[in-house]
Amino acid sequence: MISDTDTIVAPSTPYGESAIAVIRASGPRVPELLRELFGRTPPPRRATRGLYRDLNGHRVDDLVYCYFQKPASYTGEDVLELYPHGNPLIVRKITDDLLARGCRSASPGDFTRRAFLNGRMDLSQAEAVIDLIRARSDRALEAAGRQLRGELGARIHTLTDTLLQVLAEIEAYIDFPEEDLPGENADGPGARIRNLLTEIEHLAATAHYGTMLREGVGTIILGAPNAGKSSLLNRLAKRERAIVSDQPGTTRDFLEERLHLAGHCIRLLDTAGLRERGDTIERMGMQKTLQQADEADLFLVVLDATLPHPPLPDTLRNRLTPANTLVIHNKADLLDSRQPESFLPECRQVLFSALNGEGIDTLEGALEALLQKEAESPGADRIAVSARHARALDQARSALETALEHLRQGQPPELAASELRAGLDALGEIVGRIDNEAMLDKLFATFCIGK
Residue ranges that bind ligand GTP, judged by CB under 6 A: 223, 225-231, 244-246, 248-251, 273, 330-331, 333-334, 353-355
**Closer of 106 and 286 to ligand GTP (Cβ):** 286
**Closer of 195 and 250 to ligand GTP (Cβ):** 250
CA distance 125 to 104: 25
Interface with Mg ion (CB under 5 A), residue from 7, 137, 251, 386: 251
CB of 269 vs Mg ion, minimal distance in Å: 11
Q: Residue 160 CA to chain centroid, in angstroms?
A: 23
CB of 248 vs ligand GTP, minimal distance in Å: 5
Q: Which is nearest to 171 in space by CA: 149, 189, 183, 198?
A: 189
CB of 243 vs ligand GTP, minimal distance in Å: 7
> What residues contact residue 29 under an 8 Å CB cut-off, 6+ apart?
7, 101, 102, 103
CA distance 77 to 64: 20
Candidates 34-42, 120-128, 244-252, 436-444; binding stretch for Mg ion (CB under 5 A) = 244-252
CB of 278 vs Mg ion, minimal distance in Å: 13
CA distance 404 to 196: 11
Residue 353 touches which member of Mg ion, ligand GTP, none, C-beta under 5-8 Å by kind: ligand GTP
- Partners of 18 in the beta sheet? 86
Q: Is 292 in the site for Mg ion (CB under 5 A)?
A: no
Residue 377 touches which member of ligand GTP, Mg ion, none, C-beta under 5-8 Å by kind: none
Candidates 223-231, 303-311, 430-438, 441-449; binding stretch for Mg ion (CB under 5 A) = 223-231
> What residues contact residue 35 under an 8 Å CB cut-off, 6+ apart?
41
**Residue least distant from ligand GTP (Cβ):** 273
**Closer of 139 and 252 to ligand GTP (Cβ):** 252
Q: Is 230 in the site for Mg ion (CB under 5 A)?
A: yes
- Partners of 391 in the beta sheet? none
CB of 276 vs Mg ion, minimal distance in Å: 18
**Closer of 189 and 223 to ligand GTP (Cβ):** 223
Kindly tell me the burial class for residue 13, based on how many C-beta atoms sit within 10 Å of its own C-beta (0-12, 13-18, 19 or more): middle
> What residues contact residue 62 under an 8 Å CB cut-off, 6+ apart?
49, 50, 51, 52
CB of 346 vs ligand GTP, minimal distance in Å: 23
Q: Residue 260 CA to chain centroid, in angstroms?
A: 17
Amino acid at 447: F
Q: State the residues that interact with Mg ion by CB under 5 A.
A: 229-230, 250-251
